[in-house]
Amino acid sequence: MAIISPTITTSDLEQFNQSLATLQTYAKRVQIDISDGTFASTQLVPIPSMELPEGIKYDFHIMSIKPSEHIAAAIEKKPALVIVHAELDDDFNAIANQLRSAGIKVGVALLKSTLPSRAQSLISQADHVLIFSGNLGEQGGTADMLQIEKVPLIRAIKSDVEIGWDGGANLSNVRALAHAGVNVINVGGALANASDPAAMYQSLITESEKKGVLI
């Protein structure tokens, strides 16, 4: 059964807080996008400014060439998982050790152009692999469903790793993502643009749990 995880991607602190307050009423797990402008073109709400209410499991998706510069601040916020990109220019082993010493799981994200075979050493150490199918630092993109082909390639490297999806997930494709073996489906634009985000969240869960065309 796939987990539906709303995503927060914003540079506005007030909007960030409003989104969290709303998500707290219905979501159990939330991915927070973090960008310092070195990897993605956008700069999003910085970690030290975040006030995270209890009762939600937080994943931090750090889009930075040097994610090590943000790890200490991330640890202070006590997320369940921190995801860094395979395309980083940094010491992944040191980052992973620092996070695990703090009781935080380690994830690695793959851009559309990055094949799992090119990140095999990172995947083998990771608790979570994020298949990135969107536009860095933005919401509301279109999913590149061919990226689903990475799921068995990742499983061949580490069979028990949790696999996430980020980019363009919505009611029309969430069932296909779940059936393909994606464990965590991060949803941004489909929730942010919904007239009733809580109802949309439930609809996404229902759709992802369908076994076939009719049920």
Q: In this predicted structure, what is the pLDDT of residue 21?
A: 94
Per-chain mean pLDDT for the chain: 94
**5: part of which helix (H) or strand (E)?**
strand 3-8
Outline where DSSP puts E strands in 44-183.
Answer: 57-63, 81-85, 105-110, 128-132, 162-166
Higher pLDDT pick, 187 / 141: 187
pLDDT of residue 156 exceeding 90, the answer is yes
Q: What is the C-alpha separation between 47 and 72, in angstroms, rounded? A: 10
pTM above 0.85, yes or no: yes
For the stretch 36-85, pLDDT in tens is: 999 998 999 999 999 999 999 999 999 999 999 999 999 999 999 999 99
Q: What is the mean pLDDT of residues 154-180?
A: 97
Residue among 123, 144, 125 at smallest CA distance from 133: 144
Domain ranges within the chain, ordered by starting residue? 3-208
Higher pLDDT pick, 107 / 40: 107
Q: In this predicted structure, what is the pLDDT of residue 136?
A: 75
For the stretch 72-102, pLDDT in tens is: 999 999 999 999 999 999 999 999 999 999 9
Q: What is the C-alpha separation between 72 and 19, in angstroms, rounded? A: 24
CATH superfamily to which 3-208 belongs: Aldolase class I (3.20.20.70)
Residue among 105, 119, 106 at smallest CA distance from 153: 119
Q: In this predicted structure, what is the pLDDT of residue 18?
A: 95
Q: In this predicted structure, what is the pLDDT of residue 72?
A: 98
Q: In this predicted structure, what is the pLDDT of residue 140?
A: 64
